[in-house]
Structures are given as C-alpha cells and as structure tokens.
Amino acid sequence: MSQDQATSSAPAYTRWTRDQIAARVAHDIPDGAVVNLGIGLPTAVANHLSADKEIVLHSENGVIGMGPAPKEGEEDFDLINAGKQPVTLLPGGVFFHHADSFAMMRGGHLDVCVLGAFQVSAKGDLANWHTGGKDAIPAVGGAMDLAIGAKKTYVMMDYLTKTGQAKLTPECTYPITGLGCVSRLYTDIAVIDLEGGIGKVIDLAPGLSLEALQALTPGVTLVQA
C-alpha cells in the first residue's frame, strides 16, 4: 500500500495514508457497536469494516444500517448520509425522522462516533466546526450532539497543520464543539489515547520515535501506553 514520505530536518518517517487510518479505526471498532461516522475523512471507515463483525452505521439525517460507499455509476442520490454523499443500505436498514435520529444521539444510544477535527486538547476538548474563516460553516450542527452523546468519541485527523503546528494542543484556540469528549486520536503519524490530560501513545508511524513526536507537540505530555 502506498505511503507518503515525510520530509523535515528531523529523522524521516512514513505517514499513514488516509485509507490506512480508516482501516485502523475500523479494526478497533468492537463487534456489535452502533457507530456514527462524521462528515469527511471518517466516512472512509465504512469501506474497511470487516464482514466478520456486525457493526451498525447511523447517520444523523435519519438512516441506520448503512453499508460501504456505492460503486461508481450505482449511486442513488435519494439515499445519502449527512454529508450528502451517496451510501448503500444493508438488509434491515431503515429511514426515520431526523428528530428521532437526534434522540438516539442525545440519548446515549451510540457506542462510538468518529469525527474530524481542527484541534483536540490534551483534556479531550474538541474543536471541529469553525476556524474563524470567512467561508466557515455558520453553526456547530449535529457534531455537538454526537461528540457528547456517544459513549466514545474518536477523532481522525492529520497530526500537523499545513504550517507544521500540532493539532493536539494544551488548549483549543478554535471554538469548542465539546468539552472532555475525545477519548482517542487516529492521525497520520500516531494513535493516541487521551486520559487525565496526558497523551498515551498506542502506535507510531514507521520511523517515528516517541521523542520526535513529543518534539512536534509542545505543551502536551506524551507517554508510551
């Protein structure tokens, strides 16, 4: 599987591709879980779920029981997820009013939600809806309900911004989506559990050391899990 080679003055390491990140998330979701996959990168997780597991996918626009993305040319644009992307429906899948969908989210009936993020703090605070840009979306939407309502919230994101700053920060500087809600980060260079304000590193990209990751992450304490 192709990978992108990192280039910097630090020792070289190989970033995981977005498909590899999605596959890792899919591997870690337990059998029997009811899961919401957020808009953007998290939707790729559906394409990597094992046929050996029964995982029920939910979308906040009122769909449960989704399958992988449809093949090109087989899309049904009356069957979409919350990000307006065409989806497939597995046997037993159903549609319902979005008010019922939000009741599922707010009522604690989702085992896992997987979201993207602009920033995550060491305390598990999530910022994923607004950066202050003129073209930013005008409101937080359902991400707030998902982040707080799910039993576990995972985040998928690139570890660094385009200018090289870590998105894992001591405090979020962007508007908050949810406080203390993120339990695990899946990024292109590390998988990290957040517990008690400390990042517990579960896995590192090939060629990357814990010391090098710490150097990229000022103000946040990282330890090997």
Task: Confirm if 181 and 76 have CB atoms less than 8 A apart.
Answer: no
Domain range spanning residue 197?
4-224
Q: 132 in the Ramachandran plot: left (φ > 0), alpha (ψ -120 to 50) or beta? A: left
| pLDDT on residue 150 | 96
Main-chain phi, psi angles of 7, to 5 degrees:
-130, 125
pLDDT one-digit tens code per residue, 197-216: 999 999 999 999 999 999 99
**Quick one: CA torsion of 204, 5, 37, 137, rounded to 10 degrees?**
120
In the residue annotation, 74 being an active-site residue is answered as no
pLDDT one-digit tens code per residue, 167-207: 999 999 999 999 999 999 999 999 999 999 999 999 999 99
Q: Full-prediction pTM beyond 0.85?
A: yes
Separation of alpha carbons 114 and 3, rounded Å: 23
Q: Which two tokens stand for residue 134?
A: 């003129």
Task: Confirm if 45 and 25 have CB atoms less than 8 A apart.
Answer: yes
Catalytic member of 54, 60, 75, 195: 60
Beta-carbon contacts of 163 under 8 Å, excluding residues fewer than 6 positions away, are none
Number of domains in the chain: 1
pLDDT one-digit tens code per residue, 5-49: 444 455 589 999 999 999 999 999 999 999 999 988 999 999 999
- The CATH number that applies at residue 182 is 3.40.1080.10
Q: Would the pLDDT of 1 be above 90?
A: no
Give the chain's mean pLDDT.
Answer: 92
* Beta-bridge mates of residue 186: 156, 191
* Beta-bridge mates of residue 200: 193, 223
Separation of alpha carbons 87 and 44, rounded Å: 11
Separation of alpha carbons 26 and 69, rounded Å: 15
